Structure 1
Amino acid sequence: MARLLRRGPVALSLFFLSLVRGSEVIVGDAFTFQDTSHCKAAEGELIHRDRNQRVAFHTEGVWKPDDYYKDRVHSNSSVSFARTVFTDSGTYELICDHSQAKFIVIQLKVVAPHYASVSEGDAVKLQCFYDTKASAVESVGWMKHGELVFERNFSSSGVRRGAGHEGRVSMSREASGDGDLSVDVAAAHAEDAGDYFCYVRTKERGENEFVGAVRLTVNGKTLNKTKPTQICPEDKSLGSGTIIGLIFGFLTVAILFTLLGWCLTSHT
């Protein structure tokens, strides 16, 4: 049977490693430890191993939070942070059944994002910086919702782009030297909106380490709704003033012709 080393209320386990998972979340967002929903054992624990602190315990088919987390974790069939804080980053140990001598390790990275906004069809830069000289960086890249967006391998100079990003995402060739891991996204699409995570992979770690994030908003193109100026057609109808003028002119001509006729008659 596996031995437990206890420090206060938290048990540190010496189990055989079963599975390691990595997850990332933007600070302030909610986060669910998905594996906790599969825990059916009568007793279980979720421990923040870096802090030697129990987050929640499983009993009577329900996960219940430890006192320290009661304001952010509620009793449920799984363990979720209603909102994450920066100090939630670290290694978590999920134990579902002490008798089976195995557990799941969850690496959680809480990232403070940059915010970017772009109009649909325009270009935008997603910024990320890392000291590439401080460690042997093998490759760098970006992910969105767990899917690859862009990756550059410094060793082979190879580049990979995720589906939907072919030909639209690029990174400076100087990234390995100046530490600027920003990518340029050309002709932004509406579906490009979302959370992007920047990562590096070093030879020592051999796994992705998330070092930055960008929350991108894509605004739709604003249509020009200015009403065109209406040019009124020339009003060709006769106004009352025009009619009176015509009548006056007609009468004047008639009187002149009458006088002219009278004069001619009198002379004859």
Structure 2
Amino acid sequence: MTPNETVTLNSANANDAGLYEFRSGTGKVIQPLVHVHVFLSTNRTVTEGDSVSFASYANTRGRGVFTVARNEKPVFGLDYGSGKQTRGPGFEDRVSISPQWKDEGNLTITLKGATTADEGVYFFYVRDKLGETVPLHAARLKVNTRGPDQTTSGPATQSENNIWTAVPITSALLAGLVAGLVAGLVAGLVVGLVVGRKAPSLLGHLKTCRSRSRCRPDAVSHPDAAAQLLNGNSRIPEASLESSHAESKV
């Protein structure tokens, strides 16, 4: 196998969350520990130019940082202790949070003036006072283009079907993303990760994969040695866990 190939974990579910390590055939560690978090996501649809809200709730007493990220980019951050709010590029004047966040734990955010550039998977999570990531949920946003004669549209819709989405995180990402949301946010966006430039050849296996039958190497090269999310797009009935997968590039 050549450098920068891919190991795919198929049909990810809630029990796949945890730490993973990649080793070569000689036992040499070729990638830092990857912490995989699994989110339950829903599908949202909105018409271009309209607003869309994402409901989130958590205990906001004490210390912690509520974070929203989309496609490896920061969207919004809130420090419970100081009340400081930060917004990512392109979202400065378009994202607001419920004024009841402190007293009621209502972390619902609203995105105004949706555009097709806003499409993607939004991850909502909290970094608690111990530095642990607490996943809340995820939402895949689809923005429909407004027709030339369309002046009004209905409210944003939410799919009844859910998708399990697995997200890999390494210590390199947690340390490197402070600048993305400025000093007020704890490093650690839950989308994508870059672990170095050129990784050695991946000769072996995913060390801690829970089921070898679901771990397979894909001969797909990438210019960076990175573990990157490949969002599952298969729908899952309420009582089953079928078809979503996490992809890590090493």
Amino acid at match of 2:145: G
Could you say which residue in structure 1 is the equivalent of 2:149? Answer: 224
Could you say which residue in structure 2 is the equivalent of 1:44? Answer: none
Residue 106 of structure 2 aligns to a residue whose secondary structure is coil
Task: Flag the 1:79–1:179 CA change in 2: closer, same or farther, 3 A.
Answer: same
Could you say which residue in structure 2 is the equivalent of 1:113? Answer: 41
Residue 107 of structure 2 aligns to a residue whose secondary structure is coil
Equivalent of residue 79 in structure 2, options 136, 153, 164:
153
Superposed CA deviations along residues 8-52 of structure 1, whole A, max 9, x for unmatched, are xxxxxxxxxxxxxxxxxxxxxxxxxxxx9748xxxxxxxxxxxxx
Superposed CA deviations along residues 133-176 of structure 1, whole A, max 9, x for unmatched, are 5xx44211200012110001121221110011011001123213
**Where in structure 1 are there 5+ consecutive unaligned residues?**
1-35, 40-76, 226-268
Where do residues 39-50 of structure 1 align in structure 2 (5 Å cutoff)?
Answer: none
Q: State how far apart, in whole Å, the 1-side matches of 2:142 and 2:87 are.
A: 21
Q: State how far apart, in whole Å, the 2-side matches of 1:200 and 1:137 are.
A: 10
Please, what is the CA RMSD of the aligned residues?
2.5
Residue 191 of structure 1 aligns to a residue whose secondary structure is helix
Could you say which residue in structure 1 is the equivalent of 2:88? Answer: 162
Could you say which residue in structure 2 is the equivalent of 1:19? Answer: none
Identity %: 27
Residue 33 of structure 2 aligns to a residue whose secondary structure is strand
Question: Please, what TM-score do these two structures have when normalized by structure 1?
Answer: 0.50
Q: Relative contact order (alpha carbons < 8 A, sep ≥ 6): 1 or 2 greater? A: 2
- Deviation, 1:100, is 5.0
Q: Which has the higher Rg, Structure 1 or Structure 2?
A: 1
Q: State how far apart, in whole Å, the 2-side matches of 1:216 and 1:188 are.
A: 10
Conserved 8 A contact 1:129-1:212: no
Could you say which residue in structure 2 is the equivalent of 1:176? Answer: 102
Residue 45 of structure 2 aligns to a residue whose secondary structure is strand
**Where in structure 2 are there 5+ consecutive unaligned residues?**
151-250
Could you say which residue in structure 2 is the equivalent of 1:188? Answer: 114
Residue 114 of structure 2 aligns to a residue whose secondary structure is coil
**Which of the two has greater helix per residue?**
1
Residue 166 of structure 1 aligns to a residue whose secondary structure is coil
Q: State how far apart, in whole Å, the 2-side matches of 1:192 and 1:212 are.
A: 18
Question: Please, what TM-score do these two structures have when normalized by structure 2?
Answer: 0.53
